[in-house]
Structure 1
Amino acid sequence: MLALLGFLTILLFLILVISRKLSVLLSLIIIPVFFAIIGGFEPQAIGEMIVTGIKQVAPTGILLIFAVLYFALMIDAGLFDPVISGIIHLAKGDPLKITMGTALLTMIVHLDGDGTATFMITISALLPIYKKLGINRLILPCIVALSAGVMHLVPWSGTMARALQVMQTDASGLLVPVLPSMIVGIIWVLGVSWWLGKKERKRLGIIAFDYKHADELTEAQKLTRRPKLILVNAILTISLIFCLIMAFLPPSALFIIGFSVAMLVNYPSQTEQKSRLQEHAANVFFVSVMIFAAGVFSGILTGTKMIDAMAQSLVTLIPAEHAGYLPTLVGVTSMPLSFVFTPDAYYFGVLPVLKEAAIHYGINPIEVGRAAILGQMTVGFPLSPLTASTFVLVGLSEVELSDHQKFTFKWAFMTTFLMTLTAIITGAIHLL
């Protein structure tokens, strides 16, 4: 019963969001509450689940509020202007060069394994270029999502940390055997970027810019720019990212401090500070509300044990005679299941069950772990409504989540499919 309610919750959520019958915000709240009531849970219990879920995402919510404000200040101050100007000049108005550059830049930036920081840096730098060239707005979040998804297999990402912990192994046992798959994924993403760029080049042509005025600022933008502080802001941003990677402090604390220093250095006047906060209030509100709504969604699914029931039911669906296909099935379904399970739910709830099932059927359990990381909250995380960074991606890209999912899903699924196929060919996982 609980498993059925869980799957119905996810299914109805996806249907309503993709068809735009209900907004993402309301869907994240109303749908799980509705099915929890159908499941017979008391209002008091549902309320406690909601509060628990909100508490779990609170650190992420605080992090993103101040991270959005920090990078917004850096954009206002002009930190990314040289990057934008350089890309415009190198691309020479060619959409194909822009899309290829987007993929390469994202892969480099995402070496830190932090999706939120990657999206903020790459989208902030590249969105103005896409607007100037008139490139289909959905292409930017698509390429950034695919590029970050493949690179999310780095051992220090949150997803890999969970997988390594559950499988009780190290990177040499889990990641190294699927490196060929990762390489194929990177090549595929570059190929997709080339294909999308070629189509845009055919549609738009190579646009001739007056490079002296292509990145000219408006009067309002000129007032917020701090060209004399670019070096200071660059050092501050690099130091902040370094501290994030080294985990000197919790990420939320680092961004709170970083934002405060950036505001004081660039806009010491209280009038200017108030103006900057008012300018970016809408984006901050959107991101924070979405995150806490996602906390309601995951809190109810976890608290009602729907997620546990769904995990158990997935295993029982596999007949014993077909058990040899378990790793392959895990690989192929890993990316789509990012829409259903949070990272913690999958890696701490589903994967241990799959691991025990593999042992029961005489399959090397490490193969299940290798298959899982080929898509589950790696390639899949930038499309999942269950990860806060997805809302950062679509929010900064100024696109709807449903549009992003519909446009990107086929490319993301093919990425995982090809990576799984490569893993089978190289022997990282076996069919039987």
Structure 2
Amino acid sequence: MVTVVGFILLLAVVMVLIKGRVALPIVFVLFPVIAAVILGFPMSEITGFVGKGLSSVLNVAALFTFSVTYFSMMNDVGMFDVIVKKVMRYMGNKVALALLLAAFVATISHLDGSGATTMLVTIPTMLPIFRKMKIRPEALLLFASAASGIMNLLPWCSSVMRLSSSTALDPQLLWRTVFPLQVVGLILVYAMTIPIAKMERKNGAGMSDEEFEMLKTDIVGDGGAASLAGVQVNQKLIAFNMLLTLGLIVVLLTGLINANLGFMMAFAIGLFVNYRDVKVQNGKIKEFGGNAMNMVMVIFAIGVFLGIMQNTGMIEGMANTILAFIPESLGGSLIFIIAIFSVPLSVIIGSDAVYLVLAPILISIAAQFGGTAMSVGTSLLIGGSISANITLIGPTPYLALGLANVSMGDHLRYSFKWIWGIGVILAIIGGFIGIIPF
């Protein structure tokens, strides 16, 4: 009975996520509570299950809160805009360089962990250049999606947050595990500019040097204090903010201090230095904190879902049932197979369903064949992250499509094979360096 209800709950959650007609907290709070009641558990016991689930996601919620507020602050003071303008000054009249710049802008703007922010910065900034150079907007979407997808592997981004909340994997340790693949992934994205540029030139892309210089002058301007977003930037503090951010990333990567404490300290220091008036500081806390609230609510709702699924025995029952149908010969390669097909799986059912619903079950199954939670999490994270902006499920891809005036069909036809190719290469490299078992 527990197993049957578990599968029904799983199917119901996936279907609702695919249709996208209700908010995530509704799904992850009401559905599992109803399932537990159907199984005959009293509310007092269900409350205990929920308490255990909430305890398991507290660290993740804290990390997300302070990481989002920190990078929202850095965006507010113009750090990202200054970096982009500096790079654009040295951009040459080549299609490959335009593609490379698009990837770079997406990489930098995604440091705040927000896919929507990345698209709102990258596409309006780069689309005029692409139009003037006659580069198809699908190419812009490809590089914005691929670069931000690789950056999704950062420990404060939603992909890692959601996977960590459903599997109890430490976000910082997860990032340190996949960091070599993140570096390789960025190299692959930037290297991809060469074949795509060749393809676009065959399609008629390019412009005269005179036209290009006029375009660059319009975008970069006179190099004054104004940022790309029209925000006045305090040039004296830009160097400080860059050093603070670089130091924070180094500390997180080396594991010198806990990620939660690192972001808390960096946010406190940055808030004090950039905004000296206490009223302004309090106003900025409210402003930046609002950006994190939606995801924090989702994380706590996931805690409810997991607490009930795990403590009622549903996950164990479903894992044992699925395990009975997996041949012994396939078990050893299960995690690698998951990694290879995680991109199309995430595109079809959405990364939320993969991270929040399938991940705990796949971890239980893989454990029977000697697989670890970290290896399963890594295999899912690679494909789920880089496919975040080509998935059929989720708002950010459609925001990007609207900004670029491209249909989902055209986006998938242009981008899917390249992004899946990156996913497959990363899975193979992960196998050779021991992150993902073959």
Matched residues in 2 for 1:151 and 1:70: separation?
A: 14
Task: Give the C-alpha shift of residue 353 in structure 1.
Answer: 1.1
Task: Name the count of aligned residue pairs.
Answer: 379
Task: Give the C-alpha shift of residue 259 in structure 1.
Answer: 0.8
Contact 1:371 1:420 in 2 (8 A): no
Please, which of 145, 159, 162 is the counterpart of residue 142 of structure 1? 145
Q: Secondary structure at the match of 2:383?
A: coil
State the partner residue of 1:293.
301
Please, which of 326, 329, 336 is the counterpart of residue 331 of structure 1? 336
Q: Secondary structure at the match of 1:380?
A: helix
Is the deviation greater in 286-295 or in 124-133? 124-133
State the partner residue of 1:245.
253
One-letter amino acid of the structure 1 residue matched with residue 67 of structure 2: A
State the partner residue of 1:362.
none
Please, which of 130, 136, 142 is the counterpart of residue 123 of structure 2? 130
1:27 aligns with 2:15: no
**Unaligned ranges ≥5, structure 2:** 128-136, 170-176, 403-407
Matched residues in 1 for 2:184 and 2:266: separation?
A: 37
Map residues 347-362 of structure 1 onto 2, 5 A cutoff: 349-355=364-370
Task: Give the C-alpha shift of residue 345 in structure 1.
Answer: 3.6
Task: Give the C-alpha shift of residue 213 in structure 1.
Answer: 4.6
Matched residues in 1 for 2:355 and 2:69: separation?
A: 29
Is the deviation greater in 262-271 or in 233-242? 233-242
Map residues 6-405 of structure 1 onto 2, 5 A cutoff: 6-89=6-89, 97=97, 100-101=100-101, 118=111, 120=113, 127-134=120-127, 139=142, 142-144=145-147, 146-148=149-151, 210-214=215-219, 217=226, 222-223=231-232, 225-319=233-327, 323-334=328-339, 335=342, 336=345, 339-340=353-354, 345=360, 349-355=364-370, 372=376, 375-380=379-384
One-letter amino acid of the structure 2 residue matched with residue 132 of structure 1: T
Matched residues in 2 for 1:220 and 1:182: separation?
A: 28
Task: Give the C-alpha shift of residue 269 in structure 1.
Answer: 0.6
Task: Give the C-alpha shift of residue 125 in structure 1.
Answer: 7.0
Task: Give the C-alpha shift of residue 421 in structure 1.
Answer: 7.5
Q: Secondary structure at the match of 2:219?
A: coil
Per-residue displacement from partner, 1:278-333 (whole Å, max 9, x unpaired)? 432431222322222222222222222222223222221124xxx32333444223
Matched residues in 1 for 2:236 and 2:182: separation?
A: 41
Matched residues in 1 for 2:261 and 2:432: separation?
A: 45
Task: Give the C-alpha shift of residue 12 in structure 1.
Answer: 2.0
Task: Give the C-alpha shift of residue 235 in structure 1.
Answer: 1.6
Task: Give the C-alpha shift of residue 277 in structure 1.
Answer: 2.5
Task: Give the C-alpha shift of residue 239 in structure 1.
Answer: 1.6
Per-residue displacement from partner, 1:371-425 (whole Å, max 9, x unpaired)? 85772333335679xxxxx99x969x8899xx9xx96988766655566688999
Matched residues in 2 for 1:383 and 1:235: separation?
A: 31
Q: TM-score, normalised by structure 2?
A: 0.65
Contact 1:68 1:120 in 2 (8 A): yes
Contact 2:62 2:260 in 1 (8 A): yes
**Unaligned ranges ≥5, structure 1:** 110-115, 166-173, 356-364, 385-389
Matched residues in 2 for 1:46 and 1:198: separation?
A: 59
Per-residue displacement from partner, 1:167-189 (whole Å, max 9, x unpaired)? xxxxxxx99xxx9x999977875
One-letter amino acid of the structure 1 residue matched with residue 368 of structure 2: V
Matched residues in 2 for 1:65 and 1:296: separation?
A: 19
Task: Give the C-alpha shift of residue 118 in structure 1.
Answer: 5.0
One-letter amino acid of the structure 2 residue matched with residue 352 of structure 1: A
Change (3 A) 1:344 1:422: closer
Q: Secondary structure at the match of 2:41?
A: coil
Matched residues in 2 for 1:25 and 1:138: separation?
A: 30
Matched residues in 2 for 1:299 and 1:198: separation?
A: 52
Contact 1:59 1:252 in 2 (8 A): yes
Change (3 A) 1:289 1:133: same
Matched residues in 2 for 1:250 and 1:190: separation?
A: 31
Change (3 A) 1:119 1:203: farther
Contact 2:153 2:182 in 1 (8 A): yes
Identity rate of aligned residues, in percent?
Answer: 20
Per-residue displacement from partner, 1:338-389 (whole Å, max 9, x unpaired)? 745669846863332122xxxxxxxxx8xx99985772333335679xxxxx
Q: Secondary structure at the match of 2:216?
A: coil
Task: Give the C-alpha shift of residue 247 in structure 1.
Answer: 2.5
Contact 2:318 2:361 in 1 (8 A): no
